[in-house]
Amino acid sequence: ASPTAITVGIGRAAELGVLVKSGEALEASEKLNTVVFDKTGTLTVGRPEVTDILPFGVDERELLRIAGGIEANSEHPLAEAVVRKARSEGIDLAEATSFEALGGKGVLAEIEGRDAAVGNRILLRELGIEVPEGTEAAALRIEEEGKTALLVALAGRIVGVVGVADALKKNSVEAVGRLKAMGFEVLMITGDNPSTAGIVAKETGIERVLAEVLPSEKAREIKRLQDEGEVVAFVGDGINDAPALAQADVGIAIGSGTDVAIESGEIVLIRDDLLDVVAAIELSRKVIGRVK
């Protein structure tokens, strides 16, 4: 292998807005056969918006007051969407006196002396809160549109469902299509539920989905693919997925994401454009082809 060709390749990549931190990342690209995309903030814009407010036994404003009060303490993009919506309606958020975020599940809080929660079915199941049929149907309707359904509970009962949508990035569909045309198996991984995840995957042309994967489990899923013999590139924004970036044979970080992504990825994309994933892999292959 010629170090000169690799140095030249790294320089050429930088001109394209692709920072390659090590020659090994270039070399690994040759054997790559699988590309795994994180969903939120990677395939999607990562700035979700509230689209549906379905209260049960309270009115819309009360649902937003409670949900917003719980989420005000969380930095999760879903939480920010709920808080933004409540504030834009001029609602004074309920005050939370205690607060606990459960990664990949939701948030627990105490609101005006009562236990409260916002999150997914897994969270409510763990809390032993029953999800009535009507709630389940409402959540499914939201999920069938590729949105995320947040269940809101107060004092052990469901008081509503909030639907949140996160748009696909402009070039997600094209990037996935080009990678498939190059012969890669393309997967999506997410903590989101299987129905929402399945719709978003379908919209982007991805057939294999790993859904309801807890943040702590994402790296393990990458390891499992590697144990099956796949050589894996993982593309993520660093929210929840830094260990997966590190575990992958080639970790590709969206540079507009988090600092931890930039640290964990071997390849960092300066622009927030998924076509640069394709460019990075094409360039790596060209460089390594020349080195041999």
Scanning 127-135, 145-153, 162-170, 233-241 for contacts with Mg ion by CB under 5 A, the matching segment is 233-241
Please confirm, yes or no, whether 115 is among the known catalytic residues.
no
40 counts as binding Mg ion under rule CB under 5 A? yes
118 counts as binding ligand ADP under rule CB under 6 A? yes
CA dihedral (192, 223, 242, 12) in degrees, to 10, reads: -120
Scanning 47-55, 75-83, 88-96, 224-232 for contacts with ligand ADP by CB under 6 A, the matching segment is 75-83
69 counts as binding Mg ion under rule CB under 5 A? no
Among Mg ion, ligand ADP, none, what does residue 257 contact (CB within 5–8 Å per kind)? Answer: none
Question: Which position's Cβ is nearest Mg ion?
Answer: 40
The pair of three-digit structure tokens given for residue 83, joined into one six-digit string: 């808080």
| Count of CB atoms situated within 10 Å of the CB of 100 | 12
> Cβ contacts of residue 17 below 8 Å, gap of 6+?
269, 270, 271, 276
User: Quick check: helix, strand or coil at residue 191?
Assistant: coil
Choice between 96 and 239, CB closer to Mg ion: 239
Instruction: Please name every residue paired with 114 in a beta bridge, in sequence order, or none if there are none.
Output: 111
* Exposure of 2 in the CB half-sphere (CA atoms within 13 A): 10
Q: What 8-state DSSP symbol labels residue 197?
A: H
Residue 243 Cβ, how far from ligand ADP at the closest point, in Å?
13
Instruction: Summarize as ranges the residues that interact with ligand ADP (CB under 6 A).
Output: 39-40, 71, 74, 76, 78-79, 104-107, 118-120, 148, 150, 190-192, 215, 239-240
